[in-house]
Amino acid sequence: MESFTIASKKVLTLVLVIDKAGQKARNLILLGYKKRGFGAHLWNGFGGKVEPGETAHEGALRELEEEAGITVKSEDFKKAGILLFQFENDPVALETHVYKAYEYQGQIRECEEMRPEWFAFDDIPYDQMWEDDRIWLPMLLNGQDPFFGRMYFKRKALEKETKVAPVVNTSTSAHVNHSTTMTATSFTTAQPKSGPFAMYDHHLEHSLQGVPHEVALDGTIASFEN
Ligand SMILES: CNc1ncnc2c1ncn2[C@@H]1O[C@H](COP(=O)(O)OP(=O)(O)OP(=O)(O)O)[C@@H](O)[C@H]1O
């Protein structure tokens, strides 16, 4: 039987950097391809755990610098919402403080954990992102924030290994060097497209009255400060 009871929570951050159509003709969003750890092989904003003694705002700025190499001035950094992720049979909830920024300083660079890339708003790779992203990210992009969401996840049933077809050179051109033999071996991947968890249910509020200034769970208070 499923249980979504929370006993404690971890406070996390998630930062979305947006380049509004300026010199470039289209609105762009900066996402990072997570190379390892929680949410590996998914595209996401930049962020991570808030460290002891840090506010969520400070933690978010630190993670953005660590993972994408860029900084944002405090006044350009706007709180877009709080998302509470709960996982079946896991008493630890993830309270994620979401921020957005339209201005940044520095050179975007790849690190060991994340590979940053710009995406046009109409080309966001939702099928390779956490399932909840397709619910709240369009709201953030449309200015329908701040929001407060609760998202419930179940571990996905172990899927049959997915066969991935190898890339085979099908060219019949006379110029192909036939002395190079390509062995068409297939390989398998156990990585589900949108991560190891499936979203089971969610509730999202985006009226100002519905967004709490504080989220209290078992005595812990997270304030909705900027
Ligand atoms: C369940 N649905 C979800 N939907 C969207 N985003 C999600 C998410 N669940 C976690 N996230 C984000 O994923 C990052 C994990 O951070 P994570 O790598 O664990 O943190 P941190 O860099 O501190 O870790 P290590 O230093 O490697 O331990 C962090 O931004 C967090 O907000």
pLDDT in tens, 160-204: 555 555 554 444 444 444 433 344 444 444 567 788 899 999 998
Check pocket membership of 39 for ligand 1, CB cut-off 6 A: yes
pLDDT digits (tens, 9 = 90+) for 71-123: 999 999 999 999 999 999 998 999 999 999 999 999 999 999 999 999 999 99
> Is 94 near ligand 1, meaning CB less than 6 Å away?
yes
Q: State which ligand 1 atom lies nearest to the alpha carbon of 63.
A: 22
Closest CA to 61 of 43, 34, 79: 79
Q: How far is the CA of 9 from the centre of ligand 1 (A)?
A: 13
Second-level CATH architecture of 8-158+195-223: Alpha-Beta Complex (3.90)
Burial of 110 (0-12, 13-18, 19+ CB in 10 A): middle
Please tell me the distance between residue 165's alpha carbon and the centre of ligand 1 in angstroms: 30
Buried b (16+ CB within 10 A) or exposed e, 121-137: eeebeeebbbbbbebbb
The ipTM is 0.96
Residue nearest to atom 21 of ligand 1 (CA): 48
Establish whether residue 143 lines the binding site of ligand 1, counting it when its CB lies within 6 angstroms of any ligand atom: no
Structure tokens at 220: 């812990």
Q: What is the pTM of this model?
A: 0.83
Q: Is 136 in the pocket of ligand 1 (CB under 6 A)?
A: no
Length of the chain: 226
Q: Could you tell me the distance, in angstroms and rounded to a whole number, from the CA of residue 187 to the centre of ligand 1?
A: 28
